[in-house]
C-alpha cells in the first residue's frame, strides 16, 4: 500500500478480535470480568487487562475468530511459547466452506518452523523478539471467515492474539473481485531417493502464487542447494515440463554462491520479499545437522495461472567428477496462493509425530 492508498478515504470500518473482544463488536473491548489476567487485575477492576490471552486445552480446537459479513483481514498478531510452534495448527475457512484454505503449523506460517526464534523483517511477515508473530497477508472474503487453532498435544497452550479486519460497503466490493488466500504445508522427511519435494500438487482454478516459506534440514555433508524449483502452469504437468524453471535453490531465494560470505560461511539475511533469516548450526550434542529457514514473497512478481498449478523443488548436492547428487534431506514448505474459490485440493495434514523437530522433543520434561 502506498501513501495515496493510505490517505484515500474509504467507506470502511475497522474491527479487531482478541481475548479482550472475542467477537470484534464496536465498543466491545475491555469488558471482560474473567480471564487469564483476572487475578493480576484484582486490585484494579474491569477494563484493566483481565483477558489478554486464552488457554487452549490439549487435544482441542479453539475458534480464534468468527466473522459473519464481507471483509478483509489486514493484520494478525500472535504469540505463544516456542514449544507450541509446531503443535498448534492455524486454519482459516472462507465463506462458510467446510474445508480450510489455510492449514499450517503456527510457527511455519510465521516463518519460524524450527521451534527456535528467528527475527524476520519482511513485507508480509514480521517475527520480532521473542516470538511476536505478525502477518500482513491480505485475507479477503465475501460472506464470512473463521480462524481456528488446533492443539495437537495433551497439554495446555496459552495464546495471545489480535485479528484486525476491515468491513463495510467498499470492502465488500473489493472482496467480490479478489481471490481467497490459501496456504498449504508439506514435509518430506527424509526426501525419498531421486524424488522432488512437492509444494503444490494439481491445484485447480484461476489464481496467483504469492509466497514460499521453507525449512531445510541437511542430512549429509556438502552443499545442498543446487536443485531447481519448477512451476507447472495450466497443463504443463501433463506435458511433464514447466513453464517457469529456476536455476538453483539459493537463486530462487535471492542469494548466490552457497549463501557463503567469505570468512562468515552461511550468512542469514532478510529483505522485504526474500531472505534466509535462520541458520542453525550443529551444537556438538543433539543438534547434529545444519538447518535453514528461507522465504520468498511473490508480491511484486506473482505467478499467475488460469487453470491449474503444480510446484516442486529438487534437492541436489555434488558428488565426484562434478556430478549432481540427489539428497535425502528434511524439507518442509508453506506455499501461499490466491485462488478464485475458497477451498482447493490439499494433502492430508501430517500426524503430530511427523511434525517433530529433530533434537527438540515434542513434549519436553522441562
365 pLDDT band, cuts 50/70/90, is very low
pLDDT at 3: 57
pLDDT in tens, 103-132: 999 999 999 999 999 999 999 999 999 999
Q: HSE-up of 3 (CA within 13 Å, CB side)?
A: 0
Percent of the chain with pLDDT over 70: 96
The pLDDT value recorded for residue 7 is 85
Decide if 174 contacts 12 (C-beta within 8 A).
no
pLDDT exceeding 90 applies to what percent of the chain?
Answer: 93
Q: How far apart are CA 324 and CA 321, in angstroms?
A: 9
- Grid coordinates standing for 33? 470480568
Cis peptide before 130 (omega within 30 of 0): yes
pLDDT digits (tens, 9 = 90+) for 334-345: 999 999 999 999
Query: Could you name the CATH architecture of 12-178?
Result: Sandwich (2.60)
If you classify domain 181-349 with CATH, what class do you get?
mainly beta
What average pLDDT is seen over the chain? 96
The pLDDT assigned to 290 comes to 96
Above 90 in pLDDT, residue 321?
A: yes
Residue 328's pLDDT band, with cuts at 50, 70 and 90, is very high
12-178 matches 181-349 in fold: yes
pLDDT band at 34 (very low <50, low <70, confident <90, very high): very high
Cα three-residue angle 154-182-241, rounded to 5 degrees: 115
User: What ranges do the domains of the chain cover?
Assistant: 12-178, 181-349
Give the DSSP H/E element, type plus range, for residue 326.
strand 323-326
Amino acid at each position: 500500500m502506498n501513501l495515496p492508498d493510505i490517505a484515500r478515504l474509504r467507506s470502511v470500518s475497522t474491527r479487531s478480535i482478541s481475548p479482550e473482544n472475542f467477537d470484534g463488536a464496536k465498543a466491545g473491548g475491555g469488558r471482560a470480568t474473567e480471564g487469564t489476567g483476572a487475578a493480576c487485575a484484582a486490585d484494579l477492576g474491569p477494563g484493566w487487562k483481565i483477558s489478554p490471552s486464552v488457554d487452549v486445552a490439549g487435544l482441542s480446537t479453539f475458534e480464534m475468530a468468527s466473522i459473519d459479513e464481507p471483509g478483509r483481514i489486514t493484520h494478525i498478531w500472535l504469540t505463544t511459547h516456542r514449544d507450541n510452534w509446531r503443535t498448534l495448527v492455524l486454519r482459516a475457512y472462507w465463506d462458510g466452506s467446510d474445508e480450510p484454505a489455510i492449514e499450517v503449523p503456527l510457527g511455519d506460517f510465521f516463518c519460524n518452523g524450527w521451534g527456535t526464534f528467528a527475527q524476520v523483517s519482511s513485507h508480509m511477515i514480521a517475527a520480532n523478539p521473542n516470538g511476536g508473530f505478525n502477518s500482513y497477508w491480505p485475507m479477503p472474503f465475501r460472506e464470512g471467515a473463521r480462524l481456528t487453532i488446533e492443539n495437537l498435544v495433551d497439554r495446555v497452550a496459552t495464546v495471545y492474539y489480535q485479528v484486525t479486519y476491515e468491513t463495510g460497503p467498499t470492502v465488500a466490493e473489493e472482496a467480490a473481485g479478489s481471490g481467497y488466500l490459501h496456504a498449504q504445508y508439506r514435509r518430506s522427511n527424509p526426501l525419498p531417493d531421486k524424488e522432488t519435494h512437492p509444494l503444490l500438487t494439481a491445484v485447480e482454478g484461476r489464481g496467483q502464487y504469492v509466497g514460499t516459506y521453507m525449512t531445510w534440514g541437511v542430512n549429509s555433508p556438502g552443499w545442498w542447494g543446487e536443485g531447481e524449483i519448477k512451476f507447472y502452469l495450466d497443463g504443463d504437468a501433463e506435458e511433464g515440463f514447466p513453464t517457469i524453471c529456476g536455476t538453483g535453490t539459493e537463486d530462487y531465494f535471492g542469494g548466490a554462491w552457497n549463501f557463503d560470505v567469505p570468512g562468515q560461511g552461511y550468512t542469514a539475511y532478510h529483505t522485504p520479499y526474500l531472505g534466509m533469516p535462520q541458520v542453525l548450526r550443529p551444537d556438538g550434542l543433539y543438534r547434529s545437522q545444519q538447518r535453514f529457514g528461507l522465504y520468498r514473497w511473490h508480491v511484486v512478481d506473482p505467478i499467475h495461472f488460469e487453470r491449474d498449478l503444480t510446484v516442486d523443488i529438487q534437492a541436489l548436492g555434488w558428488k565426484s567428477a562434478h556430478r549432481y547428487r540427489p539428497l535425502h534431506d528434511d524439507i518442509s514448505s508453506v506455499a501461499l496462493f490466491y485462488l478464485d474459490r475458497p477451498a482447493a485440493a490439499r494433502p492430508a495434514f501430517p500426524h503430530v509425530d511427523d511434525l517433530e523437530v529433530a533434537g527438540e522433543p515434542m513434549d519436553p520434561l522441562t
